[in-house]
Amino acid sequence: MGKIEDAIWKMAEPLVAENGMELIDVEYVKEGAEWYLRLFLDKEGDEGIDLDDCELISRKFSDVLEEKDPITQAYRLEVSSPGIERPLKRTKDFQRFQGEKVQVKTFSEVEGKKQFIGILQETTEETVTLDVDGVNIVIPRKQIGKANLVWEF
């Protein structure tokens, strides 16, 4: 995460938590000529995040952004659920989805590969273990560029 995402995370996480939700990810990206600030939220239970939740956080966080003004250029704020192939970032994300199918992309090769799809096994602060076709692969967390759930029909 970059400096802006880190700053936004620190501002948004308490607001999201006090409204009974969890901040999953923050993105600050340029697409075409426009900048987007995206917050991805989730909450416990089968329903997950709905449109009312997104509107509530969008409205409340817009006020915070106006007051603190951490971003100088124009941008669009988007608040949504992480979707079915949600990203895994923090230790508790990996631990929550132990036993699920995930995809992990690494910055450099681990056991000769940079992309893995397997069943998420044990997770520590330092490593993630995946069962890839019956073989346990231990991936250093600092090598993980991107990790997300894999949805199957």
* 30-60 tens-digit pLDDT: 999 999 999 999 887 767 788 999 999 999 9
Per the domain annotation, does 139 fall within a domain?
yes
User: How many structural domains compose the chain?
Assistant: 2
The pLDDT confidence band at residue 89, using thresholds 50, 70 and 90, is confident
**Cα separation of 79 and 56, whole Å?**
9
Task: Please determine, for residue 82, whether its predicted confidence score (pLDDT) is greater than 90.
Answer: no
pLDDT tens for 119-138 read 999 999 999 999 999 999 99
Domain identity same for 45 and 97: no
Q: Mark whether 29 and 95 lie in a shared domain.
A: no
Note the pTM of the prediction, 2 decimals: 0.74
For residue 111, give its domain range.
91-149
Q: Is residue 85, in this structure, part of any structural domain at all?
A: no
What is the β-pairing status of strands 144-149 and 76-80? Answer: unpaired
